[in-house]
């Protein structure tokens, strides 16, 4: 039974590749030697929140990093490598932190049900919860995105890019698994603008 499920995935892939090639002849050949995504997506691993599909793009357009509850932790070597590669080499223009409602990781923190490594991984979310009284799950999912955008804005790799004049925007979005829609939380920022403001001061 399990093997059948796996075989189905491979069969789906073959059909998909054929469809794409039929609709857009040469699509894969073109991508072979070109990787220039404009966006880095930092999202939750939740299977209901597939980055590319949500924003309707084809392979080649979004560089993706996903982890449990879309955390930006500046000691996470995995994310730091993704950030460095995306910023210094790919020169992405936008970094989107995308959280989602009904996030299992956030819910586990609210209900005090984390354990083992997840306890460590979600430490910042716990801290956030304690600082905000007893927020509901939806509010907590939004607060989490805001916090992670802030962590990004404080990140050395991001700050260095800004100080070197790299036009890099950060954004915080939240996705609703119940209707498939994204919402911009209005926390977008571009360090360059902030710096320009500073320079204007006497």
Respond yes or no: is residue 23 known to be catalytic.
no
Interface region with Co ion, contact rule CB under 5 A, candidates 11-19, 37-45, 140-148, 172-180: 37-45
Q: What is the pattern of x (binds Co ion, CB under 5 A) and - over residues 87-126?
A: ----------------x-----------------------
Q: Where are the beta strands (DSSP E) in the chain?
A: 39-44, 62-67, 94-100, 169-175, 182-184, 189-190
**Residue 112, CA distances (Å) to 18, 40, 79, 104 in order:** 47, 31, 26, 12
Tell me, yes or no, if 103 is annotated catalytic.
yes
Asked whether position 44 contacts Co ion by CB under 5 A, the answer is: yes
Which residue among the candidates 65, 98, 103, 141 is catalytic per the annotation? 103
Closer to Co ion by Cβ: residue 105 or 191: 105
Per the residue annotation, which of 65, 98, 100, 141 is the catalytic one? 100
Q: Is 86 in the site for Co ion (CB under 5 A)?
A: no
Beta-carbon contacts of residue 20 (< 8 Å; ≥ 6 apart): 27, 28, 58
Contact stretch for Co ion (CB under 5 A) within 39-47, 119-127, 157-165, 177-185 = 39-47
Region binding Co ion by CB under 5 A among candidate stretches 45-53, 110-118, 165-173, 184-192:
45-53
Cβ neighbours of residue 136 closer than 8 Å, sequence gap 6 or more: none
Least Cβ distance, residue 186 to Co ion (angstroms): 21
Q: Which residues pair with 110 in a beta bridge?
A: none
Based on CB atoms, which residue is closest to Co ion, 41 or 162?
41
Q: Are strands 94-100 and 62-67 parallel, antiparallel or unpaired?
A: unpaired
> Considering beta carbons, is residue 46 or 142 the nearer one to Co ion?
46
Catalytic residue check, 81: no
**54: CB partners within 8 A, 6+ apart:** 98, 175, 180, 182
100 carries an active-site annotation: yes
Q: How far apart are CA 95 and CA 148, in angstroms?
A: 11
Under the rule (CB under 5 A), what is the footprint of Co ion? 44, 46, 103
The catalytic residue positions are 44, 46, 48, 100, 103
């Amino acid at each position: 039974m399990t093997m059948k499920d796996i075989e189905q995935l491979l069969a789906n892939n073959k059909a998909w590749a054929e469809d794409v090639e039929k609709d857009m002849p040469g699509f894969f050949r073109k991508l072979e030697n070109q990787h220039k995504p404009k966006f880095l997506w930092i999202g939750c691993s939740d299977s209901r929140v597939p980055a590319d599909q949500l924003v309707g793009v084809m392979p080649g357009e979004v560089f993706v990093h996903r982890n449990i509850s879309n955390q930006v932790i500046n000691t996470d070597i995995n994310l730091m490598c993704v950030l460095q590669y995306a910023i210094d080499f790919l020169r992405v223009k936008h970094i989107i932190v995308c959280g989602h409602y009904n996030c299992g990781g956030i819910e586990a923190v609210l209900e005090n049900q984390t354990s083992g490594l997840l306890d460590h991984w979600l430490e910042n979310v716990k801290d956030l919860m304690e600082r905000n009284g007893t927020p509901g799950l939806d509010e907590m999912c939004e607060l989490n995105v805001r916090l992670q955008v802030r962590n990004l804005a404080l990140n050395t790799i991001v700050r260095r890019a800004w100080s070197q004049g790299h036009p890099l925007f950060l954004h915080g979005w939240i996705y609703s698994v119940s209707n498939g829609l994204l919402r911009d939380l209005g926390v977008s920022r571009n360090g360059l603008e902030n710096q320009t403001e500073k320079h204007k001061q006497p």
